[in-house]
Structure 1
Amino acid sequence: MKTRPIAALAPVAVLPLLLAACGTTDTGADKEAAPKANASADCTADETTTATGPVSLTDSYGRSVELDKPAERVAVLEWQQVEDVLTLCLTPVAVADVEGYTTWDTAEKLPDGVTDVGTRGEPNLETLFGTNPDLVIVEAYTPEDEILKQLAKYDVPVLATKGADAKDPVANMIDTFELIAQATGREERAKVVVDDFNEHLADAKEQVSDAAGRFVYFDGWIQGGNVSIRPFGQGSLIGELGEELGLENAWTGEVDEAYGLGQTDVEGMSELGDATFFHTGTVDPDGDINAALAENPVWQKIPAVAEGRSFAFPAGIWTFGGPRSAEQIVDAYVDLLTK
């Protein structure tokens, strides 16, 4: 179940992030080579400046991070933060699970040549530190996370960001983005991006002002031949963005306190059949849940499905992403609600 943030693998309980070094790997990379600039069209046109002075900040868990200058060579171990670094017009020197990122997060293209340090749950630390980062950005869930204990053994600053907060997922998404901007001296760029997002959301509200109704967004996976469905309830980023547009989230069952994620099955979803269904359009390499549901006769009889009110989002929208992913989510809602 590599498609979800490490701490979102269990729908109703946040799992600890396990970190273990793998075998020796010689990357062959020039440790002193500067990371390539982000050559996206948006960044090529970017005219914001980068701060140059020392950086002193407090991360999401009250830990002090001191840098002689803004970080330039950043290693990133979770996809939202990879996206955020790219949105800030920087290119990380190392990323966990490059293939997974390119499959699940299309909001920002990862340039070729970035060192892949293995899985997000078990990155290869020797490969990671072989890229000579001046900052490692991680997603943590408590100040005592195993990842922080492991990285503390190395003499490189670590920025711990909060993966999710169901109390206000949109604010947490922006706070994480702005924290990374502060560490990299890209606060001026961050302000432009956040202003763009707020304007994007406001414009979308006007476009779907007459589209009020009940909805539920879901994804899921196949395990042991059984389909597990995960509704995104109150406190989920994608759910809250839907409600920002004037919709009512139909999932009122139990959700976890970080991501707002629930768990159910086909029968449970049948109880929500009066709502409009939205679901992931990305095909999980470990099992295509949408194909499995299409073959389920009970699923096909649910009113939302039988009446053509079940819609796939475009593939590659990361539901746990940063401002640019959030804009993709908003656009998907607008496109599907107004077609």
Structure 2
Amino acid sequence: MRRTLTTALAATSLLVLAACGTSQPSADESDEPSPDSGPITLTDGAGRTVELPGPAEKVVSLEWQMTEDLLALGVDPVGVADVKGYSTWNTAESLPADTTDVGLRGEPNYDAIYQSDPDLVVLEVYGPDDAVVKRLEKYDVPVLAVLGADAKDPLAQLKETFTLIAQAVGKEGVAEDVLAELDQSIEDAKTAVADATPETTDFVYADAYAQGSTISIRPYGQGSLIGELGETIGLTNAWTGEVDPAYGLGSTDVEGIAQVGDVHLFYTGTESGTWLDKLSGNPVWEAAPFVTNDRFTPFPEGIWTFGGPRSAQQVVDAFVAGVA
């Protein structure tokens, strides 16, 4: 699903906005992989056994969450899928300006990958017969396939993915520090929400896009990472509609979202409000309680809602700012 996100949301472009509290850790000598480190054996998200002669140093990332995770660990990828898209949609960690682009997520440029001479390619797996994994396996390129999401426990999955990547690059100590910072951010946000005593703690988060005169809205329901983060800090996700089993994403229209009642409606910040412009004068929209009570709030632009620990910190900060 995430590999088609850019197409589905082409009308909802984001600008880069630096966020507080997401600085990249500075690795000291103890954080650097030892040249004498022994072989590493991992079981990845596809159930595959991945054997590395030592911590991977030249890593290609084919998914933005994995790119963010590598950067948060202090590892600059030698190649990244859709560099421009990452820099637009994910501001949690900045890519070096000279990062090599290796094609699209889901449709990578294999020649560019091979020319990067990686000792590991990290990607998100989409099932046991993932075509990209199978093609890379035909060549002498180690592949670490990770699960980007699990609606059963999205926050635990985020941490598991981050830890797995850290093990592959020999940065377990850095990973522990980053995850501790995330946990502290969550605890601080819990306190801030409780102290703010908002009139309602019910919320819905959604993104949307326009296709002609039709507006499609995608609520993040139970099992979504952003929904889980909201509930973890003391809010209540009010979207109860059907969602997909991996990312907790639903689908509705203006009439459907207007029925959620008197909630805080958060949405993906946009450059120009393309879909919002089309709602001017719409009686259903303008009568919705979250509009009339001024509880309709954009997230800062550039927060990737499918990201790693650093993006998660941005999310909880945005929730607090919206309800406090």
Could you state the TM-score of these two structures normalised by the residue count of structure 1? 0.85
Distance 1:103 1:10, change over 3 A: closer
Q: Which amino acid aligns with 1:231?
A: P
Asked if structure 2 preserves the Cα contact closer than 8 Å seen for 1:141 and 1:163, the reply is: no
Q: Output aligned runs, 1:178-193, within 5 Å.
A: 178-193=163-178
Which residue matches 1:280? Answer: 268
1:5 aligns with 2:2: yes
Which residue matches 1:252? Answer: 240
Per the alignment, in what secondary structure is the counterpart of residue 104 of structure 2?
coil
Q: Which amino acid aligns with 1:190?
A: A
Q: Percent identity?
A: 53
Deviation for aligned residue 1:130: 0.8
CA distance in 2, matches of 1:113, 1:9: 23
1:135-177 Cα distance to aligned partner (Å, 9 max, x none)? 0000012121112111112111000000210000000011111
Deviation for aligned residue 1:300: 2.0
Per the alignment, in what secondary structure is the counterpart of residue 66 of structure 1?
strand
Which residue matches 1:63? Answer: 48
Aligned length: 305
1:260-298 Cα distance to aligned partner (Å, 9 max, x none)? 0000000001111321100011449xx833333346443
Asked if structure 2 preserves the Cα contact closer than 8 Å seen for 1:241 and 1:330, the reply is: yes
CA distance in 1, matches of 2:219, 2:249: 6
Q: Which amino acid aligns with 1:197?
A: L
Q: Output aligned runs, 1:84-99, within 5 Å.
A: 84-99=69-84
1:27-63 Cα distance to aligned partner (Å, 9 max, x none)? xxxxxxxxxxxxx964346565133312111111211
Measured on the aligned residues, the alpha-carbon RMSD in Å equals 2.1
Asked if structure 1 preserves the Cα contact closer than 8 Å seen for 2:24 and 2:71, the reply is: no
CA distance in 1, matches of 2:85, 2:239: 28
CA distance in 2, matches of 1:45, 1:168: 30
Asked if structure 2 preserves the Cα contact closer than 8 Å seen for 1:48 and 1:189, the reply is: no
1:238 aligns with 2:220: no
Which residue matches 2:33? Answer: 51
Structure 1: which 5+ runs fail to align? 12-39
Could you state the TM-score of these two structures normalised by the residue count of structure 2? 0.89
Which residue matches 2:318? Answer: 332
Distance 1:51 1:42, change over 3 A: same
CA distance in 1, matches of 2:292, 2:32: 53
Asked if structure 1 preserves the Cα contact closer than 8 Å seen for 2:24 and 2:73, the reply is: no
Per the alignment, in what secondary structure is the counterpart of residue 31 of structure 2?
coil
Per the alignment, in what secondary structure is the counterpart of residue 43 of structure 1?
coil
CA distance in 1, matches of 2:79, 2:117: 9
Deviation for aligned residue 1:214: 1.2
CA distance in 2, matches of 1:47, 1:299: 56
1:317 aligns with 2:303: yes
Structure 2: which 5+ runs fail to align? 9-21
> Larger deviation: 116-125 or 80-89?
116-125
1:62-120 Cα distance to aligned partner (Å, 9 max, x none)? 11111111001100011000000000011001111111111110000111111111211
Asked if structure 1 preserves the Cα contact closer than 8 Å seen for 2:219 and 2:251, the reply is: yes
Distance 1:176 1:330, change over 3 A: same
CA distance in 2, matches of 1:295, 1:123: 43
1:225 aligns with 2:213: yes
CA distance in 2, matches of 1:254, 1:274: 20
CA distance in 2, matches of 1:97, 1:109: 14
Asked if structure 2 preserves the Cα contact closer than 8 Å seen for 1:8 and 1:259, the reply is: no
Which residue matches 1:125? Answer: 110
1:193-245 Cα distance to aligned partner (Å, 9 max, x none)? 00111011011101111345211000022224311000000000000111111
Q: Which amino acid aligns with 2:126?
A: Y
Q: Output aligned runs, 1:120-159, within 5 Å.
A: 120-159=105-144
Asked if structure 2 preserves the Cα contact closer than 8 Å seen for 1:233 and 1:261, the reply is: yes
